[in-house]
Amino acid sequence: MENVLECAFIVLWLQLGWLSGEDQVEQSPRTLRLQEGNSVSLNCSYTVSSFRGLQWFRQDPGKGPELLFLLYSVNEEKQKERLKATLLKKGSSLHITASKPEDSATYLCAVETQCSRAHAACTITPQLRSGHQQHLCCSSSSKKYLLSTHSLAKWSSGERSPVT
């Protein structure tokens, strides 16, 4: 019998308390079950006063975030193997073609924008856990980052919790 693996995307919201009310970044879908071999697009939308760039990261459990793509220009596209990122005027998509179990990770979208903070400081929880809200605090003398995440976890058919 063929063992079917499914993947679930879970959006974890990271909040920055000092952001202005007009600056925000969100990812969708909030949750998604994906069967191995299917393709999916993760979407990141943003509203910022001064856009400087957008970054897609991947974070494996117990490891730090790994930069996948850095996009600056509208309609810019970048591709690495089965992953493709596209930057639009007010958003971006990360498309994963023919998903595999090793695609299981947390995917983060960060928008770089201008701000007027005086000192640089940034912290992130080393391990983002599916289903738990995480917080990121980040400020800089010339930039700020708005961050939202997708978590992709492996699920086996009939199971109710992530496969470890």
Distances (CA, A) of 5 to 34, 36, 83, 157: 9, 6, 20, 6
**How much is the pLDDT for 153?**
45
Pull the structure tokens for residue 89.
Answer: 């005027």
pLDDT per residue over 48-81, tens digit each? 878 889 999 998 888 989 999 999 999 999 999 9
Domains identified in the chain and CATH numbers:
5-156 (2.60.40.10)
User: Does 133 have pLDDT greater than 50?
Assistant: no
**How much is the pLDDT for 34?**
82
- Let me know: does 110 contact 147? Beta carbons within 8 Å: yes
Cα angle for residues 148, 150, 156 (degrees, 5° grid): 165
| Full-model pTM | 0.63
What b/e string do you get for 126-141 counting C-beta neighbours within 10 Å, with b at 16 or more? eebebeeebebebbbe
Backbone phi, then psi, for 61, in 5-degree steps?
-55, 130
